[in-house]
Structure 1
Amino acid sequence: MKTSTITRNFILVVLGSAVVAVASCKKTFLEVSSAQNISDNVAIVDSASALTATLGVYDGLQNSYYYGGDGLAAATFLSSGDGLWVGTLNYYNDFTTHAYRSDNTLLYRIWSQIYVTINRANHVIAKVPALDGKLISDTKKNQYVGEAYVIRALAFFDLGRTWGNIPLVLNPTSDPSDVKGIQQSNQQQVYAQVEQDLLAAEPLLPAGVNRNRITQNTVYAFLARLYLYTKQYDQAETYATKIISNSNYSLIDWNTFINNKATNESIFELQFTTADPSSHNGSWSSVNYRNQFCPNKGLYNLVQDPSTGGDRKALIRDVSTPAITNYFVQQLYWRTNGDNPTYIFRLAEQYLIRAEARLNKPAPDYTGALQDLNAVRQRAQVTALTFKDSPTLQSDILAERRVEFALEPQRWYDLVRTKTAATAISLTDTTKYIFPIPYNDLAADPDLHQNPNY
């Protein structure tokens, strides 16, 4: 198996008992079983074990409660106003009504898995640089540490935009006492750490294109997203342009994108296998019975409308029957064997980031913003728009993001960061824009404090 391909199956074979797992909902990310922990002093000792540990970091990212399909994707999709919960577990339905509380089981599992991923990254960052140069090349050292920095940055970014005030755990942990005294950082501080990790990673990583492993291009795409969130629009435009101007990436037709993996559209995607699949298809794609969550009629109508959806109508299928009406299933993760990729960064986002950045930077570039917006629309066979005024163009960009990333975890965060949730989904309680810190962790860590009004 080529090491340039990340699969969780590889990790399960090689890493074995060294994989950190969230085994019980009674545990917190502070509680680590030494038999399952990669932090022991001899776990990372040479090139092979360093690679194994690095792949373990990717494995954390691919967990079903993180980017594997049934955790973060479900919570954010259901919160966005575009999804329905059709299962039997009420703690999922809490997201459609924004009635989530600190004892919500799904929130706990997402939070815990993200911190497991951070802990794995911290082990690589702390231990790989100290390895004997006779046992591993500097190039490999740099690559593995750079990859760990980027995944840690993504984990902190997701925690920051989802929970707001979170602990920045920057060192490996193997015991609850290891995090004693770590106070929560506010969202601005979290994003600053994300930026620091990304800038540290850039010179360590290879410059080439690898759609399943992190490279410098992944850093550029991530920085563009980060700077959009922090409203540093000139930098967002600069980094998005680095990707858009790279001939290795191109907007391809939707049929090619949906039916293939690692296409020119993809900057970084997670790969799964039939032996170790993602949970996307099983969670919200069954045509025989309602699984857990599904698109609602409003989103279906939006993607089916030729003036907004175009070729993106292929994303959602109506499987309603006389007995079950308004039943729609997603088609992005259509492979029933579960080896569907999860898209972390892709080119269309870079165009829409640059469009929004060009519109909002101190000296707005209306022409350039409109061109970027229309590049995404025309790829989907949707009629190009003309410029009317700045507020309309801003609204058009956000509307385009909603359709383009209809089945990817983007819209909830767009509504929150642009403060449009009140008008878009009638969510006027701004304290609901961030989720509550899980109760289990509050009880275990006296340094944690709950978000307001939970």
Structure 2
Amino acid sequence: MKYIAYTLVVLCLLSCGDDFLNKTDPATLVASGFYKTEAQVQQAVNGVYGQLQGIILSQWRYNEFVTDNTTLHFNTGDRGQGPDIEALEFWQVNSGTPTISTLYSSVYLSLVNINTTLAKLPEATFDATLKTQYEGELRFSRAYYYFLLVQYFGEVIIITEPLQTPTEAYAFERQPVDNVYALIRSDLDFAVDALPASYNATNKGRASKGAALALLGKVQLTRKEYGDAITTLRQVLSLGYSLLPDYAAVFDPQNKNHVESIFDVQFQGDNTQGEGSNFIYTFAPLYSDGSVINFPGQNGAGWNIPSRDMIAAYEPGDLRKEVSLKEGYLNQANEWVPVPFINKYNHPHTIRGITNDNWPVLRYADVLLMLAEAINEEEKGPSTEAYGYLNTIRDRADLDELSGLDEGSFREAVLKERRVELAFENHRWFDLKRTKTPEALATFLNAYAAVERSNPTTDRGGIPFTPGDYQFSPYEALFPIPASERRINTKLSQNTGYN
């Protein structure tokens, strides 16, 4: 089967490491006459997908690592990541944390390329129906990025057109959350109508009508528009998706873009064309020396390690546990090393450092659980329909079906089911934010933190926690606007609690 090639197109003179707002005119290359033919526009759209690869490769930091799902294999010999990546795990983020600046700038960099292509698309000279499809793909991508931004930062800058001069950038101010969601809703409404329900084998992996509906339903659920979410998500049920019988097959690189996949970020291993993933190299334990990744002497980076709390969340007999994680490994001396690791993306591959694993962003199991949640909230208790969606997921995991729950108990059951069904797929942070107030989130995470501090998942080699480690305050439900951005644009306000 063929997959779309995500060749990154340089659409503007920008650097991924710095904010696009202090760079030269992002429309500079537009004047060259690009974006005229179908091949050129397709190349530009594929470039947008290519940028998504880079964002997904590090998204675990912001959606799993900050939660109770994962921690780190503590590196006693190299403390250089303490002020950066580890700051997310221990909730020590501030406006100068480099990884937050990278997140912010990389998303806006992608938006520049989306907006540039959208602005030039009307001038293209090829089939109007295909142009509409490409516009739908671009607007789906823009909606997805703004959904990330509003979840991470709250009020954000809204830019939907290419800038003509650098000085224009300094006039932008953060916009109310309602305005951001209005843009997201408008883009997704367009994408739902513009995108096909399916693609041929050559174009598998592109955003589809199902992807737009699933993301729209997620947005509506986040906004507590439960009736609208139910209406939207029910439309996905008729598009031909279904659960795979075998949970492990969902993540098997030999089974990409299957009937449960609604939108995956596409990666291609077994070659050196720059399209591969490397998730297991990030997630495998330190010092594992080829025992987890099957190359001689190969260690992992030790990030995103499943926490004891996450491991305990699985019910006895849950078939998903062994697929999703391992509680340790046998080293080269055949000794058991009790350092857990994510196993979902651990598959055979032929070239060291280059894996073939796609990343699931939206899949059918997610839709079923969102429907169960929305129905319970809308009807003030679970209906037979809501139980059906939840228990279908549990049936595949070989778990007993649930019944007899009140509204609150069913809500907690769905949240727990989402935690284990979608484990390590970058849903946990947004799920916690959606279902808890900032104050309740702080209480919840600090309770988890107290246990993790007293009995860390991995050994710290005698290095104590600092007083600020694992101390979560309600304001930290949002990340800070990077200080570097505020130096460039003095009109940018800061989120409460940060300098």
Q: TM exceeds 0.5?
A: yes
Cα distance in 1 for residues equivalent to 2:112 and 2:22: 11
Contact map agreement 1:221 1:350 (CA 8 A) in 2: yes
Cα deviation code 1:211-253 (max 9, x no counterpart): 5001211111111111100111111111211122333433432
Cα distance in 2 for residues equivalent to 1:320 and 1:175: 55
Shift of 1:6: 2.9
Shift of 1:306: 2.2
Q: Give the structure 2 partner of residue 410 of structure 1.
A: 427
Contact map agreement 2:281 2:300 (CA 8 A) in 1: no
Q: Give the structure 2 partner of residue 444 of structure 1.
A: 488
Cα distance in 2 for residues equivalent to 1:197 and 1:206: 15
Q: Indicate yes or no: 2:320 matched with 1:311.
A: yes
Shift of 1:320: 4.8
Identity %: 24
Q: 1:62 aligns with which of 53, 57, 60?
A: 53
Q: Indicate yes or no: 2:481 matched with 1:432.
A: no
Cα distance in 1 for residues equivalent to 2:96 and 2:90: 16
Q: Give the structure 2 partner of residue 203 of structure 1.
A: 193
Q: How many correspondences in the alignment? A: 436
Cα distance in 2 for residues equivalent to 1:207 and 1:418: 31
CA RMSD of aligned residues (A): 2.4
Q: Give the structure 2 partner of residue 145 of structure 1.
A: 135
Three-state SS of the structure 1 residue aligned to 2:20 is coil
Cα deviation code 1:99-156 (max 9, x no counterpart): 101111111111111111111110121111222xxx3110221111110000000000
Normalised to the residue count of structure 1, the TM-score between the two structures is 0.89
Cα distance in 2 for residues equivalent to 1:393 and 1:119: 42
Higher mean alpha-carbon deviation, 326-335 vs 434-443, is at: 326-335
Shift of 1:359: 0.3
Q: Indicate yes or no: 2:237 matched with 1:193.
A: no
**Cα 1:46–1:178, aligned 2, differ >3 Å: closer, same or farther?**
farther
Shift of 1:19: 6.8
Shift of 1:37: 6.5
Contact map agreement 1:102 1:439 (CA 8 A) in 2: yes
Cα distance in 1 for residues equivalent to 2:170 and 2:27: 22
Cα deviation code 1:349-370 (max 9, x no counterpart): 1001000100011565522222
Amino acid at match of 2:133: Q
Q: Give the structure 1 partner of residue 144 of structure 2.
A: 154
Structure 2 portions without partners, runs of 5+: 290-298, 447-470
Structure 1 portions without partners, runs of 5+: none
Normalised to the residue count of structure 2, the TM-score between the two structures is 0.81
**Cα 1:248–1:394, aligned 2, differ >3 Å: closer, same or farther?**
closer
Three-state SS of the structure 1 residue aligned to 2:68 is coil
Amino acid at match of 1:177: T
Q: Give the structure 2 partner of residue 93 of structure 1.
A: 86
Three-state SS of the structure 2 residue aligned to 1:100 is coil
Shift of 1:20: 6.1
Cα distance in 2 for residues equivalent to 1:254 and 1:425: 29
Three-state SS of the structure 2 residue aligned to 1:98 is coil
**Cα 1:356–1:446, aligned 2, differ >3 Å: closer, same or farther?**
same
Q: Indicate yes or no: 2:340 matched with 1:328.
A: yes
Q: Give the structure 2 partner of residue 295 of structure 1.
A: 306
Q: Indicate yes or no: 2:366 matched with 1:349.
A: yes
**Cα 1:150–1:38, aligned 2, differ >3 Å: closer, same or farther?**
farther
Q: Indicate yes or no: 2:237 matched with 1:229.
A: no
Give runs of aligned pairs for residues 345-424 of structure 1, distance below 5 A. Answer: 345-362=362-379, 364-419=381-436, 420-424=440-444
Shift of 1:258: 2.5
Shift of 1:440: 0.9
**Cα 1:21–1:327, aligned 2, differ >3 Å: closer, same or farther?**
farther
Contact map agreement 2:257 2:264 (CA 8 A) in 1: yes
Contact map agreement 2:27 2:116 (CA 8 A) in 1: no
**Cα 1:290–1:186, aligned 2, differ >3 Å: closer, same or farther?**
same
Shift of 1:84: 1.4
Larger radius of gyration: 2
Higher mean alpha-carbon deviation, 37-46 vs 346-355, is at: 37-46
Amino acid at match of 1:53: A
Q: Give the structure 1 partner of residue 283 of structure 2.
A: 284
Q: 1:219 aligns with which of 212, 221, 237?
A: 212
